[in-house]
Structure formats: structure tokens, C-alpha cells
Amino acid sequence: MKGGMNGSKTIPRGTQFAQCAACLLQPHCPLPTVAKGSGCSSATPVIQTRYRAGQHIINEGEPVIGLHVLCDGWATVTKNVGMEQDDLTIHIVEAGGLLDIGDNLASFPAYSGAVKSLTNSTVAFIRSDEFARRLETDQTFSSKLLRLVAK
């Protein structure tokens, strides 16, 4: 796995996500609802982490621990296709994009690709257990997540 030694921060450390009044994606983003704590038992359910350009956010094959949303910047999602070839770029993600929604909804809990920041970026993270609970019980969260996926 090529991404394993490049400083993965798959378990983000940071500060609680604060709702940004200037964010143009706010009508589509489900995370401010979680950060406000509506029905949430956790003190910091959403964590925001800054990544430098070239830093790995997720490593392919690691266990899924939560959902990552790119708040600002750009990132690339790649797939390892073999030892002798370069990784295959699956897609480029812009601000407001979900980095790993398919992995969070898949029946096999492992990240199917690596994610690396192309620019200095900020990523909001919500733990898998909180994500699953919100998806099942919070209609506002679910509808905003669907809008974000559709975007």
C-alpha cells in the first residue's frame, strides 16, 4: 500500500466543527445539524482537521471509521492497481464533496481508495456510529446528506 507511510491522519484530531455562516454549501451539508447537538450525546461529534497539500487523508484498505467531508480545498481519490504501476486516479473532489460515502454505506468496512489533499484543505469528520445513528433517526441529516450526494 503506497499511502501507508505518508503520514495518514485517518483518525482526525482537531476542534469541534463550527457552523460557518459564510459557507455556500450550508443548505446541502448535514454536518452543522450534528455540530449543533440536536439529540446528540457526544460532546464533539464532528471534528475538523487541516491537511497540507500532498498529505494523505485516508489510506486504502484501512478500516472505515467515519465519514469525511471536504470543507475547503481539493483532494484526489486513487486506487492501487498493482506494485509496478502508479495508482489510478478515480476522481478529484472539490470543496463540499464527500470523500468516502460509498465506503460508509458498503457492507465491507474498509476504505476502497486512498485520499490525498491536492491543496491545503480542511476536512470535517463524523464517526461511523454517529453517522449510522443520524442516517436512521434524523430526517434533516438524511435529506441534507442526499442533497450533498446529488450535488
**Residue stretches of the chain with pLDDT short of 70:** 1-28, 32-45, 83-85
Q: What length does the chain have?
A: 151
Angstrom distance (rounded) from CA 108 to CA 63: 9
The CATH number of 2-150 is which of 2.60.120.10, 3.30.420.40, 3.40.50.720, 3.40.1010.20? 2.60.120.10
Parse the chain into domains and list their residue ranges. Answer: 2-150
Q: How far apart are the first and last CA of the chain?
A: 31
pLDDT digit string, tens, across residues 93-116: 988 888 988 888 888 888 888 999
Model pLDDT, residue 127: 87
